[in-house]
Amino acid sequence: MPETDMLRCAIYRGGTSKGVMIRENDLPRTEDQRTKILLRIFGSPDLKQIDGLGGATMQTSKAMVVGPSSAPNADVQMTFGQVSLKDASVDWSSVCGNMTSAVGPFAINEGIVRATEPLTSVRIYSVNADKYVTAHVPVKNGKAATEGDFEIPGVPGTGARIDLEWIDPAGSITGKLLPTGNPRDEVTLRDGRRFTISIVDAGNLTVFLNAAELGLRGTELPAEFDANKEIQTTIEELRSIGGEMSGLAPNPGMPKIGYVAARMGYTGLSGKKVAAEDMDVLARLMSAQLMHKSYMGAGAVCTSAAAAIEGTVVNALRAGATRDSEVVRIGHPAGVMDSRVIAHKENGETVIESGSFARTARRIMEGFAYL
């Protein structure tokens, strides 16, 4: 690859993540060629990503490829890639709900989708999950609006509210809402310890644990969790078991894993107090064995779906006062995130019609990355 090669791209913040947005037609078709280019753009593998655009964290080492959709009833399609810091790999198996919030604005700003003021609804097809997302994007002067009064924990200031609605999110990875057929399963580790887990596939495939069974409170912040190598090892073994039970080949990125606890007040990353009455459940999600500093968007869809399924770990720990509500308020390291789920019963089984949440996003820069 000649040193003069360059690729047109843009850097967007999407929710509590940041990544590089690339037009589909500007990349080669094959996955291995795309992987090589993304590794070069991000400066991976390198924990500092000093020679690329990556931000040296999992939340800021994300790529989103966007182009006209080959699927019916969609304006654009997106393909998400999680670029590794540790090795020369890109995980194409998952989705990122936070970065999905940047897809609509990117498509509008790039002229892929025609802007309609004051709100443009962009129908997005997720190649990774074979699912559809509708993004409702505020528009001003023909471009995606960025100014507004909507605030999300984990991002300084306010912005224009973007509502994301994941249509029929169940089975995004495995084809089943409950991959094992059970709302909860008992598993045994190599050392004989037993745990109760719930494996739910909606938005992202996630293994949910009860914080108490891990000897945790549920209020831990990333620095405390990330320093506990023993608990990380335990959680990684549980994650691997959950993946095997879901029928997946060994994969460092999928399934995701997290733990939940009954609501409790705590001090968030910003130093702000988070009150117990402002949430329905405490939750923490991990990526590459490290705790997410806020909450994954697709993870919020999965968490609210799990809360709607009787018998799951999440359903059991959700605050009883709001159990029948469509909205699940999730207490995470940076604050509280609302996730709405529409569900109904069909032949005794829970059907998830949609899961939705709100984010903000903005274009930070655009230009060329030199390869």
Which residues does the annotation mark as catalytic? 96, 296
- Count Cβ atoms below 10 Å from residue 320 Cβ, excluding itself: 8
Distance, in Å, from the CA atom of 367 to the CA atom of 371, rounded to the nearest integer, reads: 13
DSSP of 75-112, one letter per residue?
SEEEEEEEE-SSSS-EE-S---HHHHTTHHHHHHHTTS
Distance, in Å, from the CA atom of 150 to the CA atom of 194, rounded to the nearest integer, reads: 43
| Burial group, residue 144, by CB count within 10 angstroms (0-12, 13-18, 19+) | buried
Distance, in Å, from the CA atom of 146 to the CA atom of 162, rounded to the nearest integer, reads: 10
Specify the DSSP element, H or E, that contains 302. Answer: helix 297-308
Q: Give the closest residue to 66 by CA, choosing from 122, 118, 115.
A: 122
Distance, in Å, from the CA atom of 351 to the CA atom of 308, rounded to the nearest integer, reads: 9
